[in-house]
Amino acid sequence: GDPNNPSVTDGCVFGPSAAGTPCANTGSHFCGVRRVMENWIVRIVVDPSGDIVEDALIFANNESIVFNIAPAPGANNSWDGPLITFTATCDNCSVAKNDVYNFVTGTNATVSLPVGANDDPSGQLGTTTLTIDAPGPTGGNGVVTGSPGNVTDLGIDYTATNSFNAAFTDSFTYTLDDGVLGPEFGLQGTVSITVTADTAPVANAYTITLNSQGVAPASLRNTTNVLTGVAGNAGGNNPVVAVITAATAGTATVSGAEITYVADADFFQGSDSFSYRIVDNNFNSPGTTSETAGPTTVTVNIADVLPTAADVDVEVDAGESVNFSAAVTLGNGSLAQHQVAIDCDSGSSTVGIAAAGTGFAASGTYTAPADFEGEATCTYTVTDEGGAGNDVDGTVTITVTESGVVIKLPGGSAIDSWALAALSILLLAGLGRTRRNMRRHCGGRTGATS
């Protein structure tokens, strides 16, 4: 609207004739009798087709308004597409805003309430007044402070009937008047007063127990509401929770009344601690002082859990390979944070840890020597905590058998049963030929005597 003519109620006139008037700017305008109004700037970004909508300055003084950006050239707007309709809501468009005040017992008998500080100033800065509406406060007496003018400088001195010596509630309304705006602009505000008994905060120690068996420590966390989740704790009247001494093997953070502890990636087992405190500022009630509980220590424990490794027996022929699988349980840390190694007194073996059914197993392959018969032993070792934790051993006992006799030859070589059988056949065949030759030789003589 025209600051020099607040009675203008018609829409603005656009075009060259508007130069030098309050409607000189392009765009959509809402004109009315209210001189100083809350406004919104609505920005429509460039869309994929390249169409651009300019910022539209919208004046609003009610709870909800529907406004349009009309297409060019009929409207003084750069938008050349179809009509776009926006609905904007305003939850806080009233000139007078409601006020809520909290105090504790022991507050000074009279308190100053800056009720105008959050209100919207009127354009009539020299004439705005504030009046307490009848019947006024019921739990005390209110006196307006400040001179007519900018509403943000206006307030109310409130004196409690019971001098804030006991808990109570009270409420009343006030009305603003600048000589121009009507009640439809939200000129009335409500003041609510709540007084509670002054109580001290309590911050007790507590313990967090985490379990890293089979779990990566970085995934471990605990969230505790220290006002409601710790036995004996109390927040007082207006508590603020803070961590005072930081944890060393994890991180403790505060959100409202909750403290969340997150373990470091290498905190597999052991203890950690941090401290916290609760400060009650009594809503900054005049005449009272803040009260502090703590700092208090919080202890974090992670038990040292050893892995286990079972023994297993297998059988294999000399020179052959056999698979084995031994049950294991994890210690501190995830499966990926466990290591396994194996050592054999004869032959060779490989081993690894993997999930097996509902548990875990150390599985591998053992290969027996070709010239060995008897019992071989392999010891596999499982280590948790990324290879830096506890070692536990499991035993793989292998019975190596031969399918026949093994003949040791000079130089360390050997002949097994199959080779020996073949050699026997050759020897027998050779012996048979020798006998036949002897018979032919003897039977062919003449004049032989017996």
**Where is the domain boundary, 256, 273, 302?**
302
pLDDT score of 334: 97
51 with 132, same domain: the answer is no
Residue 234 included in any domain: yes
pLDDT score of 321: 96
pLDDT score of 418: 56
How many domains does the chain divide into?
Answer: 5
**Where is the domain boundary, 44, 71, 89?**
89
Residue 164 included in any domain: yes
pLDDT score of 150: 83
If one counts every other C-beta atom within 10 angstroms of the C-beta of residue 226, the result is: 26
37 with 59, same domain: the answer is yes
70 with 114, same domain: the answer is no
416 with 430, same domain: the answer is yes
Q: What six digits make up the tokens of 347? A: 């032959």
Which tens digit of pLDDT belongs to each residue from 72-84? 454 444 444 445 5
pLDDT score of 43: 41
pLDDT score of 408: 52
Which tens digit of pLDDT belongs to each residue from 342-395? 999 999 999 999 999 999 999 999 999 998 999 999 999 999 999 999 999 999
295 with 318, same domain: the answer is no
345 contacts: CB under 8 Å, gap ≥ 6? 376, 377, 378
As a whole number of Å, the CA-based R_g of the chain is 47
Residue 2 included in any domain: no
- φ and ψ of 232, to 5 deg: 85, -10
Residue 133 included in any domain: yes
pLDDT score of 66: 41
Let me know the angle formed at the C-alpha of 383 by 379 and 389, rounded to the nearest 5 degrees: 140
166 with 185, same domain: the answer is yes
Q: What six digits make up the tokens of 435? A: 């006998």
66 with 121, same domain: the answer is no
389 with 419, same domain: the answer is no
Strands 188-196 and 270-280: unpaired
If one counts every other C-beta atom within 10 angstroms of the C-beta of residue 332, the result is: 28
**Where is the domain boundary, 63, 89, 115?**
89
CA distances from 45 to 48, 52, 59, 88 (A): 10, 7, 21, 17
Per the structure, the complete domain to which residue 361 belongs is given by 308-401
294 with 338, same domain: the answer is no
339 with 394, same domain: the answer is yes
| CB under 8 A, 24+ apart: contacts of 122-125 | 122/35, 122/36, 122/95, 122/151, 122/176, 122/178, 122/180, 122/181, 123/3, 123/6, 123/34, 123/35, 123/36, 123/178, 123/180, 124/35, 124/178, 124/179, 124/180, 125/149, 125/150
- Per the DSSP assignment, residues forming a β-bridge with 293 are 278
**Could you tell me the strand order of the sheet in which 239-245 lies?**
206-210, 291-302, 270-280, 239-245
Residue 268 included in any domain: yes
d(CA 339, CA 357): 20
User: What are the residue ranges in the chain where pLDDT is below 50?
Assistant: 1-72, 74-82, 86-93, 412, 445-450
Q: What six digits make up the tokens of 355? A: 């999930």
pLDDT score of 217: 98
3-state secondary structure the chain: CECCECCCCCCCCCCHHHCCCCCCCCCCCCCCCCCCCEEEEEEECCCCCCCCEEEEEEEECCCEEEEEECCCCCCCCCCCCCCEEEEEECCCCCCCCCEEEEEECCCCCEEEECCCCCCCCCCCCCCCEEEECCCCCCCEEEEEECCCCCHHHCEEEEEECCCCCCCEEEEEEEEEECCCCCHHHCCEEEEEEEEECCCCCECCCEEEEECCECCCHHHCEEEEECCCCCCCCECCCCEEEEEEECCCCEEEEEECCEEEEEECCCCCCEEEEEEEEEEECHHHCCCCCCEEEEEEEEEEEECCCCCEECCEEEEEECCCEEEEEEEEECCEECHHHCEEEEEECCCEEEEEEEEECCEEEEEEEEECCCCCCEEEEEEEEEECHHHCCCEEEEEEEEEEECCCCCEECCCCCEECHHHHHHHHHHHHHHHHHHHHHHHHHHHCCCCCCC
253 with 173, same domain: the answer is no
pLDDT score of 25: 40
Whole-model pTM: value is 0.67
> Could you tell me the CATH number of the domain that includes residue 359?
2.60.40.10
Query: Tokens 């049950």, residue?
Result: 327
414 with 372, same domain: the answer is no
Residue 5 included in any domain: no
Residue 160 included in any domain: yes
Residue 272 included in any domain: yes
